Amino acid sequence: MFAVPIYAGGPKPQTGAQRHEAIAREARAREELEGLREHALRGAVRGALWSTLLALALLRTRYAAARLAWIPLEARAFAWLEGVWPPPTICPLSPASAILRISALLV
């Protein structure tokens, strides 16, 4: 698994204490995201589905001001997600609900 910083796009920590705090925050966010994927999404969302959810959540949280630029990408991604999303008996959350829950963890 790649270790991509979740706080990407934010200010970089300057002091040792700030770095430690950022690392701890990122570790908590990673644990919460993994818990969401395994429990709420019942482990049914992996690979390209998971990557697409993360990308859309990141766009919504970090680049909301530029939303007009990525609306076409979002529309295509939602159309694709709807076509490949597991049935409700396997994964009770919809793609939109999953993105909102992930977005809340990235704030």
Measured CA to CA, the distance from residue 19 to residue 99 in angstroms comes to 28
Choice among 7-11, 38-42, 82-86, 96-100 with the minimum mean pLDDT = 7-11
Measured CA to CA, the distance from residue 58 to residue 51 in angstroms comes to 10
Measured CA to CA, the distance from residue 81 to residue 75 in angstroms comes to 10
DSSP assignment string, 7-32: TTTSPPP-SHHHHHHHHHHHHHHHHH
22 pLDDT band (50/70/90 cuts)? Answer: confident
Q: Is 5 exposed, middle or buried, given 0-12, 13-18 or 19+ CB atoms closer than 10 A?
A: exposed
Question: Is this structure's pTM higher than 0.85?
Answer: no
Helix (H, G, I), strand (E, B) or coil at 36: helix
Sign of the C-alpha dihedral computed for residues 82, 88, 90 and 92 taken in this order: positive
Amino acid at 77: A
Query: Is it the case that residue 2 has pLDDT exceeding 50?
Result: no
Q: Model confidence over 29-69: pLDDT tens digits?
A: 899 999 999 988 998 999 999 999 999 999 999 999 999 99
